[in-house]
Amino acid sequence: MKKSLLALAVLGAFAGGALAQSSVTLFGVVDVNARYVDNGGGKQYQMGQDGISSSRLGFRGTEDLGGGMAASFWIEGAINPDIGTAGGQSWQRRSTVSLSGKFGEARFGRDYTATFWNATIFDPFGTNGLGSSGNIFLVVPATPVGGGFNTLVRANNMMAYFLPSGIAGGLYGQVQVAAGENANGNKYMGGRIGYAAGPFNVAAAYGKTEVTSAVDGDVWNIGGSWDFKFMQLSGYYGDLSVGGLTQTNWYIGASAPIGLWTIRGTYGNVARKGVDYGVDINAMDAQQIAVGFQYDLSKRTALYGTYSKIANDGNSTNGANFIVGALQNVAGGGAVRGQDSQGYEFGIRHSF
């Protein structure tokens, strides 16, 4: 929903050139839920958020430069509607400026990494909420002392090029380079190539992160989906390695529209190999199953519910401890190694 006048007024406070934009849009999502989680170390009822969509507030605008070229900006930040605060840095979800045309798009700033796209696009839950596939893959086995792996989802200081839409039928792709600027875990280079035609979509991606000056982290993955109209099936397989540790993840998913309802489900697995500071992590495997529903009250408002369970393999010494939801202010909270983690949530999402 466009709020051009309001957006221009707000942007005018910090961007004198906003009135030159041919179009400016204010947009956002508010997603709040009631949640229960049991992570072995404690049980808790919570007021949660982001069950099916990430809560956010953003502005985007485009200026027509003529000759098929356009300049645009996109700034978007997370919000915490359950407590009424902004999450993280001011515009940490996305902060980019772009130049686009028949040649494609050149984009600069903070954005999703190429290697994250497959994981979230083909996940029926969109890597949101208790059912997110990210519960078992957005966790690095370990990083060397003094290192970091901060590019699993987004990267700062990034330059990217996107192929123009419609090239070679349904071919699409991107390449990205992010300057580390002396911060371990932030230097990144990656790319993604895919093909979408009719009901079919498949893509592969690869990325490399400088974890320390001597150790790199590598991610590669492939995902795909097929829309049968009555149901869309999807799948994902990925590999993450850092130092002598490796982690493989896969999931299969389905999403079925039934009138105003949408039924979702996924089953996924994570397997780890290597020795983490003297601890054998080969037993730190886990499986996740998630089911959920969404009922659309309108195009912008929906009710939803999700149940998810992670079965952590191993024992209390070196077993896996993946979790479906965070536990806060619970004595001995967090997941106990080798014990299951599960939870459910019911909420409402409104976009504008």
Domains of the chain, start order: 4-351 (2.40.160.10)
For residue 85 the two structure tokens come to 């605060």
pLDDT tens per residue, the chain (352 residues)?
444 444 444 444 444 444 445 789 999 999 999 999 998 878 899 999 999 999 999 999 999 999 999 999 999 999 999 888 876 667 999 999 999 999 999 999 999 999 999 999 999 999 999 999 999 998 888 777 678 899 999 999 999 999 998 787 899 999 999 999 988 889 999 999 999 999 999 999 999 999 998 899 999 999 999 999 999 999 999 999 998 889 999 999 999 999 999 999 999 999 999 876 666 778 789 999 999 999 999 999 999 999 999 999 988 888 898 999 877 655 555 678 899 999 999 999 999 9
The structure's pTM equals 0.89
Euclidean distance between CA atoms 95 and 117, whole angstroms: 17
- The vertex-304 CA angle with 301 and 308, nearest 5°, equals 150
Q: Cβ(350)–Cβ(30) under 8 Å?
A: yes
Task: Please give the full DSSP string across 226-294, using - where no structure is assigned.
Answer: EE-SS-EEEEEEEEEEETTEEEEEEEEEEEEEETTEEEEEEEEEEEEESEETTEE-TT--EEEEEEEEE
Nearest Cα residue to 14 out of 78, 89, 75 = 75
